[in-house]
């Protein structure tokens, strides 16, 4: 993150606060400090405080504001390092990384270049804590985008207010905008994914404005007078506030709703109060925060923030073949090496040692660097798709698909290894199917739909990410909502793939939801086929999956005339493998849980075989023409980018 000097002298202690902030962020991204992401709010408060201090000082001294000079200093301070980062990371990843890594970075780079990364990530709909999204090497630049947008607009706002009624108008404007931004976060947060309010400039600018408020002369001068009269008391209060701030990072979790209903606002206010108090005092706390090692880390904080996340993403446990503290040491040492080089060779050189970065030459250098980066983005093009499906891949998926099991024996714990000793009751003919599940089923659906249509069935899907049977909030339960859908669709058979989200819940919750589903089936005389979860990679497997499947089999045995359970693990293998048939075309995405088109083919063939064997009215598929449809180019198989690229 950025930091600002106040002209001739630096404010003592603030580099130490920056050091604490960046240490918190690094620890959070390394998985060692759950609330370390709040270090960004400390950065924001510091930036708002220092920038507003500079602006008001210039207005008070000259009664004017050199906007071009202000923006030029900001660009010289921030732009060179981030441009080097963008180009180096994209070119490096393109050369040595997997497709998904470099494609995501290349897609994000132009947005980061023009300081719009936060709105780009909001538009993509990728949650900040998304468990399945491919991590972008530039995901962290959303905060830098907010700062730069603030730097672009805030000086103009302060200047206009100053021209109107000087300090009084600046104070009224600052407080009004702080309140408006705080209220916007609280009002717009709906209890779901907080990405919009967490990354939106309008809903996060209060963190910077908190710092701006304590930079107002009425506030800052009063704190300075208090520090002069009662230095020990101010130092004690500041120490308590800072200790509370840091302690909160050890207990707060990013998924806590209260953070977005006022918690972040309170944290920003405390951070701002700490900043102004430390800057006004020369007490013990300020002295400690000014210690040389801490001060140097603070000066490196911008470079550390820029470089740490791309390095953390690249230095994954799989690539480094390390975990725990060994991995942490590799990540931190690499981050420190790149950050020191960036600080001394790029930041300091361009700010203080070269003439061409100033004046007209600086403007030409700025334009040249922007154009040069655009040329790199044009050269490193993003493919329309990296989906590895081709005729050979499809042939391989067809040839190696295992046959489907018959219906399960009541009480069985593994349908794929159970031998059925009786002919199933096929029941009335099946003509229409409604397919439901979470994001795993959602990725399977294009292939499943094509196979069902090829077998002569009508098929619709309600699969989407995050859905389960167990309610997670008040209001209608998922099964009550399902009942409304069934009243509209009226399928002969509901196929419901069990959800990984339900596997995370308690046994009591699982049983209650499945019993509610059974009652729905009885009330509507609705036939239901419950499908087991396919095999996931070990790190994606939930401890409650076996329990969920056992409970599902129990419910099926309770009402066998309506509900059946089938184990589909044989379709993709009972041991997880990205490339089931070792042909270089992955059946599974690299996230360890979702499928690629060839995996969807295998699952779809298994499913239709099962239906033909266990339900009347379903014909076995005679031709494989359905595998060649355009469904295999669906965008979901490039989400995240490169997920289904050839190995």
User: pLDDT per residue over 244-265, tens digit each?
Assistant: 999 999 999 887 889 999 999 9
- Token pair 């010289």 is found at 76
Q: What is the mean pLDDT of residues 131-136?
A: 67
Q: What is the pLDDT of residue 401?
A: 60
- Separation CA 382–CA 104 (nearest Å): 9
Which of 281, 290, 288 minimizes the C-alpha distance to 232? Answer: 281
Same domain, residue pair 266 and 413: no
Between β-strands 493-497 and 432-436, what pairing exists: parallel, antiparallel or unpaired? parallel
**Which range of residues forms the domain containing residue 485?**
391-417+431-633
Q: DSSP state, 432?
A: E
Q: What is the pLDDT of residue 83?
A: 96
Residue 31 has which token pair?
A: 């998985």
Q: What is the mean pLDDT of residues 83-91?
A: 97
- Strand locations in 91-153, DSSP E? none
Residue 59 near residue 329 (C-beta atoms within 8 A): no
Q: What is the mean pLDDT of residues 36-43?
A: 97
Could you read off the pLDDT of 502-533 as tens digits, one per residue?
Answer: 999 999 999 999 999 999 999 999 999 999 99
State the chain's mean pLDDT as an integer.
89
Q: Quick one: pLDDT band at residue 352, thresholds 50, 70, 90? A: confident
Same domain, residue pair 371 and 398: no
Could you read off the pLDDT of 604-639 as tens digits, one per residue?
Answer: 999 999 999 999 989 888 888 888 888 988 989 988
* 130 pLDDT more than 70: no
Query: Is 542 inside a domain boundary?
Result: yes
- Separation CA 594–CA 23 (nearest Å): 34
DSSP 347-403: IHIIIII-STTSHHHHHHHHHHHHHHHHHHHHHSPPPS------HHHHHHHHHTPPP
Q: Quick one: pLDDT band at residue 416, thresholds 50, 70, 90? A: very low
Same domain, residue pair 302 and 405: no
* 397 pLDDT more than 80: no
Residue 545 near residue 511 (C-beta atoms within 8 A): no
Of the listed ranges 8-12, 60-64, 429-433, the one predicted with least confidence? 8-12
Q: Quick one: pLDDT band at residue 444, thresholds 50, 70, 90? A: very high
Helix axes of 14-29 and 263-280: crossing angle, nearest 10 degrees: 150
Q: What is the mean pLDDT of residues 550-554?
A: 96
- Separation CA 580–CA 576 (nearest Å): 8
Q: What is the pLDDT of residue 604?
A: 94
* 463 pLDDT more than 60: yes
Of the listed ranges 126-140, 152-166, 191-205, 589-603, the one predicted with least confidence? 126-140
Q: What is the pLDDT of residue 6?
A: 43
Q: What is the pLDDT of residue 535?
A: 92
Q: Quick one: pLDDT band at residue 424, thresholds 50, 70, 90? A: low
Which of 567, 614, 607 minimizes the C-alpha distance to 412? Answer: 567
Query: Is 591 inside a domain boundary?
Result: yes
Going 505 to 509 to 515 to 521, the CA torsion angle's sign is negative
Residue 306 near residue 346 (C-beta atoms within 8 A): no
- The helix/strand/coil state of 169 is helix
Q: What is the mean pLDDT of residues 335-359?
A: 92
- Separation CA 510–CA 503 (nearest Å): 8
Q: What is the pLDDT of residue 519?
A: 96
Between β-strands 527-531 and 493-497, what pairing exists: parallel, antiparallel or unpaired? parallel
- Separation CA 350–CA 78 (nearest Å): 10
Q: Quick one: pLDDT band at residue 126, thresholds 50, 70, 90? A: low
- The helix/strand/coil state of 566 is strand
The rounded percent of the chain whose pLDDT value lies above 90 is 71
Q: What is the pLDDT of residue 318?
A: 84
Distances, alpha carbon 575 to alpha carbons 213, 255, 531, 580, 601, in Å: 58, 32, 17, 9, 18
Query: Is 644 inside a domain boundary?
Result: no
* 411 pLDDT more than 50: no
Apex CA 338: angle with CA 332 and CA 341, to 5°?
135
Could you read off the pLDDT of 369-396 as tens digits, one per residue?
Answer: 999 999 999 999 988 788 877 766 776 6
* 423 pLDDT more than 50: no
Residue 37 near residue 51 (C-beta atoms within 8 A): no
Peptide bond into 640 cis (omega under 30): yes
Long-range contacts of range 215-222, CB-CB < 8 Å, 24 or more positions apart? 215/48, 215/49, 215/50, 215/52, 215/53, 215/56, 215/276, 216/52, 216/56, 216/167, 216/170, 216/171, 216/174, 217/56, 217/60, 217/167, 218/167, 218/171, 219/276, 220/53, 220/276, 220/280
Query: Is 426 inside a domain boundary?
Result: no
Same domain, residue pair 279 and 398: no
Could you read off the pLDDT of 185-203 as tens digits, one per residue?
Answer: 999 998 878 999 999 999 9
Could you read off the pLDDT of 305-334 as tens digits, one per residue?
Answer: 999 999 999 999 989 999 999 999 999 999
Of the listed ranges 19-28, 68-77, 179-188, 266-275, the one predicted with least confidence? 68-77
- Separation CA 489–CA 286 (nearest Å): 68
Reported as type and span, the H/E element at residue 459 is strand 458-461
Residue 638 near residue 389 (C-beta atoms within 8 A): no
Same domain, residue pair 536 and 608: yes
DSSP 300-361: THHHHHHHHHHHHHHS-HHHHT--HHHHHHHHHHHHHHHHHHIIIIIIHIIIII-STTSHHH
Residue 247 has which token pair?
A: 């302690």
* 409 pLDDT more than 50: no
Same domain, residue pair 472 and 339: no
Of the listed ranges 18-22, 229-233, 444-448, 599-603, the one predicted with least confidence? 229-233
Q: What is the pLDDT of residue 80?
A: 95
Comparison of pLDDT for 336 and 357, the residue scoring more:
336
Distances, alpha carbon 344 to alpha carbons 47, 81, 369, 370, in Å: 22, 10, 19, 22
Reported as type and span, the H/E element at residue 436 is strand 432-436
Q: What is the mean pLDDT of residues 493-503?
A: 94
Residue 135 near residue 108 (C-beta atoms within 8 A): no
Q: What is the mean pLDDT of residues 1-14?
A: 58
Measure CA of the first residue to CA of the last residue in the chain; give whole Å: 37
Q: What is the pLDDT of residue 642?
A: 84
* 10 pLDDT more than 80: no
Last-in-domain residue among 318, 352, 379: 379
Give the count of domains, the chain.
2
Long-range contacts of range 158-161, CB-CB < 8 Å, 24 or more positions apart? 158/52, 158/55, 158/56, 158/59, 158/65, 159/55, 159/59, 159/65, 159/67
Same domain, residue pair 470 and 611: yes
Same domain, residue pair 466 and 613: yes
Same domain, residue pair 261 and 239: yes
Query: Is 5 inside a domain boundary?
Result: no
Of the listed ranges 23-32, 115-124, 130-139, 280-289, the one predicted with least confidence? 130-139
Helix axes of 142-188 and 39-62: crossing angle, nearest 10 degrees: 100
Going 380 to 384 to 385 to 389, the CA torsion angle's sign is negative
Q: What is the pLDDT of residue 134?
A: 65
Same domain, residue pair 346 and 413: no
Going 221 to 226 to 229 to 234, the CA torsion angle's sign is negative
Query: Is 192 inside a domain boundary?
Result: yes
Of the listed ranges 186-190, 547-551, 581-585, the one predicted with least confidence? 581-585
The structure's pTM equals 0.82
Strands of the sheet with 563-566, listed across from one edge: 458-461, 432-436, 493-497, 527-531, 563-566
* 296 pLDDT more than 60: yes
Residue 530 near residue 556 (C-beta atoms within 8 A): yes
Q: Which CATH number characterizes residue 483's domain?
A: 3.40.50.1110
Sorted by sequence, the CB contacts under 8 Å of residue 498 that are 6+ apart come out as 437, 530, 531, 532, 533, 548, 549, 552
* 27 pLDDT more than 50: yes
Residue 295 near residue 301 (C-beta atoms within 8 A): no
The 3-state secondary structure of 486-555 reads HHHHCCCEEEEECCHHHHCCCHHHHHHHHHHHHHHHHHHCCEEEEECCCCCCHHHCCCCHHHHHHHHHHH
Query: Is 260 inside a domain boundary?
Result: yes
The number of CA neighbours under 13 Å toward the Cβ of 14 is 25
Q: What is the pLDDT of residue 101?
A: 87
Same domain, residue pair 404 and 269: no
Query: Is 307 inside a domain boundary?
Result: yes
Residue 414 near residue 567 (C-beta atoms within 8 A): yes
Helix axes of 324-341 and 301-314: crossing angle, nearest 10 degrees: 130
Same domain, residue pair 148 and 238: yes
* 131 pLDDT more than 60: no
């Amino acid at each position: 993150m950025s930091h600002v000097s106040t002209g001739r002298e630096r404010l003592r202690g603030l580099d130490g606060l920056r050091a604490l902030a960046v240490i918190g962020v690094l620890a959070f991204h390394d998985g060692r400090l759950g609330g370390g992401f709040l270090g960004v709010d400390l950065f924001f408060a510091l930036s708002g405080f220092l920038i507003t201090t500079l602006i008001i000082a210039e207005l008070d001294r000259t009664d004017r504001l050199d906007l071009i000079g202000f923006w030029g200093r900001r660009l010289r301070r921030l732009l060179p390092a981030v441009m080097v980062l963008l180009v180096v990371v994209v070119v490096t990843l393109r050369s040595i990384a997997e497709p998904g890594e470099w494609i995501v970075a290349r897609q994000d780079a132009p947005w980061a270049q023009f300081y719009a990364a936060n709105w780009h990530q909001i538009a993509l709909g990728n949650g900040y804590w998304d468990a399945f999204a491919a991590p972008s090497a530039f995901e962290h630049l959303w905060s830098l985008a907010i700062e730069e947008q603030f730097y672009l607009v805030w000086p103009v706002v302060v200047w206009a207010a100053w021209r109107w009624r000087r300090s009084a108008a600046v104070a009224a404007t600052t407080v009004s905008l702080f309140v408006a931004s705080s209220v916007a976060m609280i009002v717009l947060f709906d209890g779901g994914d907080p990405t919009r309010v967490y990354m939106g400039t309008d809903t996060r600018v209060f963190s910077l404005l908190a710092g701006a408020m304590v930079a107002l002369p009425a506030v800052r001068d009063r704190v300075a007078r208090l520090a002069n009269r009662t230095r020990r008391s101010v130092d004690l209060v500041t120490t308590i506030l800072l200790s509370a701030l840091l302690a909160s990072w050890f207990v707060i979790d990013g998924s806590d709703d209260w953070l977005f209903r006022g918690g972040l606002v309170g944290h920003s206010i405390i951070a701002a109060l700490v900043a102004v108090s430390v800057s006004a005092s020369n007490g013990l706390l300020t002295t400690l925060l000014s210690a040389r090692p801490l001060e140097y880390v603070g000066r490196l904080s911008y470079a550390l923030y820029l470089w740490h996340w791309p390095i953390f993403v690249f230095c994954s446990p799989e690539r480094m073949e390390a975990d725990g503290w060994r991995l942490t040491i590799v990540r931190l040492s690499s981050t420190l090496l790149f950050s020191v080089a960036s600080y001394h060779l790029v930041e300091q050189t361009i700010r203080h040692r070269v003439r061409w970065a100033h004046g007209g030459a600086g403007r030409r250098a700025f334009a040249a660097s922007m154009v040069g980066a655009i040329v790199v983005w044009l050269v490193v093009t993003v493919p329309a798709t990296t989906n590895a499906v081709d005729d050979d891949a499809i042939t391989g998926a067809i040839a190696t698909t295992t046959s489907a099991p018959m219906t399960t024996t009541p009480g069985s714990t593994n349908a794929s290894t159970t031998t059925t000793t009786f002919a199933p009751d096929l029941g009335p003919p099946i003509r229409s199917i409604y397919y439901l599940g979470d994001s795993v089923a959602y990725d399977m659906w294009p292939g499943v739909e094509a196979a069902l249509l090829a077998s002569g069935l009508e098929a619709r899907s309600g699969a989407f990410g995050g859905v389960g049977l167990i309610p997670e909030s008040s209001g209608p339960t998922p099964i009550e909502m399902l009942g409304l859908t069934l009243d509209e669709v009226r399928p002969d058979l509901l196929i419901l793939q069990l959800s990984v989200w339900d596997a995370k819940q308690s046994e009591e919750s699982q049983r209650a939801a499945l019993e509610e589903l059974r009652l729905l089936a009885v009330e509507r005389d609705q036939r239901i086929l419950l499908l087991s979860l396919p095999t996931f990679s070990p790190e994606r497997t939930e401890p409650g999956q076996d329990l969920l499947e056992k409970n599902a089999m129990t419910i099926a045995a309770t009402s066998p005339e309506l509900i059946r359970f089938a184990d589909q693990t044989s379709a993709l293998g009972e041991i997880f493998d990205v490339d089931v048939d070792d042909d270089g075309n992955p059946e599974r995405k690299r996230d360890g849980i979702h499928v690629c088109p060839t995996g969807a083919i295998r699952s779809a063939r298994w499913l239709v075989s099962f239906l033909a064997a266990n339900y009347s009215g379903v014909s076995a598929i005679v031709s494989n023409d359905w595998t060649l449809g355009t469904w295999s180019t669906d965008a979901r198989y490039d989400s995240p980018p490169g997920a289904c690229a050839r190995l």
